Structure 1
Amino acid sequence: MHILATEGLTKRFPTVTAVDQLTVTVGPGVTGLVGANGAGKSTLIKILLGLLPPSGGTARVLDLDVTSQGAGIRRLVGYMPEHECLPPDVSATELVVHLAQMSGLPRTAARERAADVLRHVGLAEERYRPIGGYSTGMKQRVKLAQALVHDPKVVFLDEPTNGLDPRGRDEMLALVRRIGTEFGISVVVTSHLLGELERICDHVVVIDAGRLLRSSAIGEFTQSTQTVTVEVDEGMEALAARLSETGHTVSPQGRLLVVQVRGPETYDAVRDAAADLDLCLIRLEQGRHRIEDVFREEVAHV
């Protein structure tokens, strides 16, 4: 079953086309929606939630039509918005309980569920304090908690690491991954920081100016390349010279040496050269594409 599917989906505003003939399907798991700021990610999510009518095409979430069954979609889907939206004068517990009740949970069940999700996102000790005194990271966790409180089948997380320091980003990404792996809730997470999604997603959808550039499993983005990266303690120049003598194409990159792989014999050649030159081999690693590389390649061809 598809979590969502669009066909020719388009959204035009008076001065810009935010989503342009988008046709894509997304299955269960953790899916990254990648694009630069202004690429149409937030607009797409609002359409999928039934909050913004499309100008053309169709879209379905959990097999419900976004134009006629928006309320049904929102009962089954959690949404963490990008923008600042939390009331400063209430506690996290009050807010999350209130939103759980709005989603249809009885008050007792809402309080129990709110306590569970706030503990899950790391706010067990702070949940009774007014949100206005929270740090940016704590506010992001409250937004995540309210998206989970009604036990949705899918959550849409719009730039969940915005404004966070490196440690906060790592912790938020770990939470997002746990949602998909331990709790069985499918996740659609947007980000313009491509490296983040590479760490947590099963599938990535790349859009630019509202158009689909690529939709692939993460393994297809980060497939092996025909290079091997070599790092030695000292003697990189000598190693490069020796490998060149054996007919290999080598290129220095800072403290690293990138060697074109001709076949299994390349690894043997690196090992033998390092041994003959009495070098300390620190790293021998097959090169891999990164999402950033693929994104640049796709944009260059548009």
Structure 2
Amino acid sequence: MNVIATESLSKRFPRVTALDRLSMDIGPGVTGLVGANGAGKSTLIKILLGLSPATEGRAAVLGLDVATDGPAIREQVGYMPEHDCLPPDVSATEFVVHMARMSGLPPTAARERTADTLRHVGLYEERYRPIGGYSTGMKQRVKLAQALVHDPKLVFLDEPTNGLDPVGRDDMLGLIRRVYTDFGISVLVTSHLLGELERTCDHVVVVDGGKLLRSSSTTDFTQSTAILAVEVTDTDEHPDGTKALRDALDTRGITTDTGGVLPGAGHIVLLTAEGEDTYDLVRDVVADLGLGLVRMEQRRHHIAEVFHDADTAGQATGQTDGRTTGQTDRAGAAATPVAHDEQKRKEAVRHGD
């Protein structure tokens, strides 16, 4: 059974359309909802929780209609908000127990569940300290704990890695993954950081300007391409090892290019792999030239390419989210979600997205 389903779901404000005929089905597991700030992610979560009515269309969570079953949905769903909403003068234990009691747990069960949940998120030793003295990472863990304390079937996590350093982000992503693998609780996690979702999620939903760009498994997004990237070192005999490799491969009928789209541009050779024989040929050529082979790997697709493809298609038709290509250029729109339509983002934020 799908944990979330929407059909032609739209949400319009006077000056902006936050969601535009969004239709998708999400099954159990960890699902990433990715898009720029103002893409409609937070608006969608509010609708799915039954906190904001849709303008048109339908949505169901755990088989319940969001238009009529909001309270029943919230009994079975946990929610971790994006922004800091924690009282500074109470401990994590006090706060999470309070949230457990609000979810309907009796006092003893609330205390027991709180202790277990804080242990799971790594705050057990610090559970009696006032939240005001917590680091950003610890506060994010408190927010995650209160979303889990009533043992929901599904949790919505809105930008859970906001404000965290790389180590903190990795720790949080590990916790999110274990929410499903250890406890069987499905997760919908929003983020504008594409790499996070590629590493963490089973399924990814990409939205831009309130519209669905693509919804598929993460493996489909990141499948291997036929492009082989080869990095070599220079030698005294070949001070430009990359050029030497390209020339040698070209003489064998293999068309190459420099890796301008990859880190280390100018030191990487790209070519089309036409089977295992290509790997053997490249290895032999590198050995014959006396070069050092740093790496040889197939490129993989990335989620960011979805935004690039959508932007390219919009420009080809002269339209991007209802504006002409010229208007898009003047607005500074780019082929990345973060740079997409700043004015639209600001308007959406003012309306609560």
Match of 1:242 among 240, 248, 260: 248
Aligned to 1:257: 269
Q: CA-to-partner distance for each residue in 1:29-74, whole Å, 9 max, x for gaps?
A: 0000010000000000000000001110000000000010000000
Which amino acid in 1 is paired with 2:298?
A: Q
User: Once the two structures are superposed, what CA deviation does each residue of 1:102-121 show, in whole Å capped at 9, x if it has no partner?
Assistant: 11111111111111111111
Deviation per residue, 1:104-148 (Å, 9 max, x gap): 111111111111111111111211111111111111110000000
Instruction: Give the percent of matched residue pairs that are identical in Structure 1 and Structure 2.
Output: 67
Q: State the 1:207 CA deviation.
A: 0.4
SS state at 1:18 partner: strand
Distance in 2 separating the partners of 1:45 and 1:301? 28
Equivalent positions of 1:172-191 (< 5 A) are 172-191=172-191
Q: Could you tell me which residue of structure 2 aligns to residue 107 of structure 1? A: 107
CA contact (8 A) 1:213 1:299 kept: no
**Aligned match for 2:295, one of 278, 283, 290:** 283
Q: Which runs of 5+ in 1 are unaligned?
A: none
Distance in 2 between the 1:11 and 1:279 partners? 59
Matching of residue 37 in structure 1 with residue 49 in structure 2: no
Aligned residues: 302
Once residues 27 and 201 of structure 2 are traced to their aligned partners in structure 1, the CA distance between those partners, rounded to angstroms, is 12
Cα distance in structure 2, aligned partners of 1:299 and 1:163 = 29
TM-score, scaled relative to structure 1: 0.97
Q: Which amino acid aligns with 2:207?
A: I
Tell me if the contact between 1:223 and 1:289 (Cα under 8 Å) persists in the aligned partners. Answer: yes
Query: CA–CA distance in 1 between the matches of 2:251 and 2:305?
Result: 30
2:140, 2:255 → 1: CA distance? 48
Give 1:278 deviation, angstroms: 2.1
Amino acid at match of 2:213: L
Contact 1:8 1:21 (C-alpha < 8 Å) held by counterparts: yes
3-state DSSP class of the match of 1:182? helix
**Partner SS state of residue 282, structure 2:** helix
| Greater displacement, 201-210 / 272-281 | 272-281
Separation in 1, partners of 2:199, 2:245: 33
- Structure 1 partner of 2:13: 13
Partner of 2:121: 121
The question of whether the paired residues in 1 share the 8 Å contact of 2:29 and 2:187 is answered with yes
- Look up the match of 1:293: 305
Aligned match of 2:78:
78
Structure-1 separation of matches of 2:293 and 2:157: 43
Write the distance in 1 (CA, Å) between the matches of 2:291 and 2:271.
17
The alignment status of 1:56 with 2:56, answered yes or no, reads: yes
Rounded to whole Å, the distance in 2 between the matches of 1:300 and 1:69 is 41
CA distance, structure 1, for counterparts of residue 246 and residue 182 of structure 2: 46
CA RMSD across the alignment: 1.1
Partners in 2 of 1:205 and 1:295 — Cα distance? 12
3-state secondary structure, aligned to 1:189: strand
Supply the distance in 1 between the matched residues of 2:162 and 2:151 (Cα, whole angstroms).
Answer: 24
Residue number in structure 1 paired with 2:216: 216
Query: Contact 2:229 / 2:298 at 8 angstroms: preserved in 1?
Result: yes
CA contact (8 A) 2:232 2:292 kept: yes
User: Aligned partners of 2:111 and 2:311: how far apart in 1?
Assistant: 47
How far the C-alpha of 1:15 sits from its partner, in A, is 1.3
Q: Tell me, in whole angstroms, the C-alpha distance in 1 between the residues paired with 2:86 and 2:79.
A: 13
Residues 126-145 of structure 1 mapped to structure 2, 5 A cutoff: 126-145=126-145
Moved over 3 A (4+): none
Which residue is 2:331 aligned to? none
- Give the whole-Å Cα distance in 2 for the aligned partners of 1:23 and 1:97: 37
Residue pair 2:177, 2:200 contacting (<8 A) in 1 also: yes
> Which amino acid in 2 is paired with 1:36?
A
Partner of 2:346: none
Q: Deviations over 1:190-238 (max 9, x none)?
A: 0001111000001000001111110011111111111111122322221
- Give the superposition deviation at 1:83: 1.2
Q: Match of 1:213, SS?
A: strand
TM-score normalised by L of structure 2: 0.83
Displacement of 1:293 in angstroms is 1.9
Q: State the SS of the aligned residue for 1:125.
A: helix
Pair 1:232 & 2:232 matched: yes
Q: Structure 1 residues 158-167 or 258-267, which shifts more?
A: 258-267
